[in-house]
Structure 1
């Protein structure tokens, strides 16, 4: 159950809440949490969901050396299925993180908390960059981009996958600039050759420190080639969507 307070001055349901309800009522997928009912009571609105035992964050916290490989395969595949469904319906989640991924009584993963979700059009429209929890926020949003698409969700998928493998968040910044530098420290500081148009982004500074790329296989030496291949969604390309369409078929997920 999720409790939503009505707007203090008008007593109305907020637009974002209406949007979340609309998205969830229309959604029908085994890896999307089901909205069962809505109850309006005094100054609050209650969203009633199917019961889920825990969230992915609790699973990760209970496994200090990373989740079992079979479980990582299962959860990652289900996360990709859920987000692929959202994107096929032209919906961006915009807040994927372990706390927003619930594990049902059947042991299956379900996407939840669509409070920041919104529909998008064929063209890349102007959107707010103040979305996605900091540790799972892609560099284009940290740099103030107002034009983005499904790649923002795919960056978060890569971060979650890495966290399941290691039990810790890959980029753990304590501010937007620190988060950006944590990313640059591993992926390298991008330039116009690596990321055309980066200098036009509002928060880009030519005085950013220069880091060289640190190979992901050195950070995760125990990962298979296919697992490292999936982590390539953690890249400076805003079109990470094409990476995961191919990775969907790799051997990592066979028999999952």
Structure 2
């Protein structure tokens, strides 16, 4: 993975850029490492490829869930939600965060169901207690295997992230319930960005 100070610098810029988009109600919907441009000196990061972006305020019916490259796709999209929010981009940033820190994708699924199960195996199988309404999503199945929840530090070490506050931030980014997932502006105010 990248050195923790570099990860922190890039994550600050990602949250600032994605947060700017969200301020203007633009959902990027395809955040992944391939769509991040790094300056020649390795200090500046820019968001790229807005080909799947959309204004979240448009009243033209349900959104498609066929967005976001599989490994970075939020669970609500994988479960068929056709109404979703800026939190789909936040989930993607969490996957990027972990990958920058470790050098490996966090949830490298091969198919939609494999992707879901990779998430469930690490984050636990969601239920209506931890994610109200998950049982009503079109592709949710009460017969899914029931995996227990594990702390994020089991898969992304605090050493790779550089601090326990980084682990806490990643945990808040990768929450199942989109309503409880941290927003970009909140993330930028997290103690992680003020640690030395």
Give the structure-2-normalised TM-score: 0.90
Higher relative contact order (CA 8 A, sep 6+): 2
Question: Quick one: distance in 1 between partners of 2:167 and 2:193?
Answer: 13
| Residue 139 of structure 2 corresponds to residue 230 of structure 1 | no
Report the CA distance shift for 1:240/1:93 in structure 2 as closer, same or farther (over 3 A): farther
Report the TM-score when normalising by structure 1.
0.70
Q: Which runs of 5+ in 2 are unaligned?
A: none
1:74 counterpart residue number: 9
Residues 117-167 of structure 1 show CA distances to partners (whole Å, capped at 9, x for unaligned) of 0101298x6210000000000100000000101000000000000000000
Quote the residue 1:199 is aligned against: 135
Residues 8-49 of structure 1: CA distance to partner in whole angstroms, max 9, x if unpaired? xxxxxxxxxxxxxxxxxxxxxxxxxxxxxxxxxxxxxxxxxx
3-state DSSP class of the match of 2:20? helix
Out of 165, 168, 192, the residue aligned to residue 104 of structure 2 is 168
Extract unaligned runs of 5+ from structure 1.
1-65
* Distance of 2:181 and 2:149 partners within structure 1: 22
Supply the distance in 2 between the matched residues of 1:115 and 1:233 (Cα, whole angstroms).
24
Secondary structure of the 1:110 match is strand
More strand, by proportion:
1
Q: Residues 43-54 of structure 1 correspond to what in structure 2 (within 5 A)?
A: none
Task: Decide which structure has the larger Cα Rg and report it.
Answer: 1
C-alpha distance in 2 between matches for 1:243 and 1:92: 13
SS of 2:29 mapped into structure 1: coil
CA contact (8 A) 2:95 2:106 kept: yes
Looking at secondary structure, tell me which structure has more helix per residue.
Answer: 2
Query: In 2, Cα distance between the equivalents of 1:173 and 1:242?
Result: 24
Aligned residues: CA RMSD: 2.0
Q: Matches of residues 151-162 of structure 1 in structure 2 within 5 Å?
A: 151-162=87-98
